[in-house]
Amino acid sequence: MLAIKLKRIGKKKQPSYRIVVAEKKSKANGGFVEDLGFFNPHSKEKKIEGERVNYWIKNGAKPTETVHNLLVSESVILNAKVKSHSTRRRKKHIEKEEKAKAEAVLQAQKEVEVEVKVEEEEKKEE
């Protein structure tokens, strides 16, 4: 499966990236099928061949999240930006929130069950 992704070039601590079409599981600095442009994050310089990007997307290549956001900012594709860089901490935080919500729901269910039992006992005593 093909992907449109960033290939790091440049000096140490001065990265710049080529936007390339490559196999999804290929190494970041490995071979690529076609060079579609470049991006320099320090100077904010970008050059993207929009026609070729659209050609590859139509032929099944999927852009990575970061490349997708670059293409949206350059108006090559007309979608909304997606969240990228989901970290382990964020995932752990989300999992903790989900567990807390689940525990709160279980606690609420237990309280309702206890209230129902108390009401049933009061009715029986009357």
Q: Are residues 56 and 97 in the same domain?
A: no
Q: Are residues 100 and 54 in the same domain?
A: no
Residues 2-26 have a mean pLDDT of: 93
Q: Is residue 100 one of the residues assigned to a domain?
A: yes
pLDDT tens digits for 20-74?
999 988 887 788 999 999 999 999 999 999 999 999 999 999 999 999 999 999 9
Split into its structural domains, the chain has a count of 2
Q: Is residue 107 one of the residues assigned to a domain?
A: yes
Residues 72-79 have a mean pLDDT of: 89
Q: Is 14 exposed, middle or buried (0-12, 13-18, 19+ CB in 10 A)?
A: exposed
Residue 64, domain extent: 2-73
Task: Kindly tell me if the per-residue pLDDT of 126 is higher than 80.
Answer: no
Q: pTM for the whole thing?
A: 0.65
Q: Are residues 7 and 65 in the same domain?
A: yes
Q: Is residue 98 one of the residues assigned to a domain?
A: yes
Residues 31-40: contacts with CB under 8 Å, at least 24 apart: 32/7, 33/2, 36/4, 39/6, 39/70, 40/16
Q: Alpha-carbon distance 79 to 68, whole Å?
A: 9
Q: Are residues 110 and 58 in the same domain?
A: no
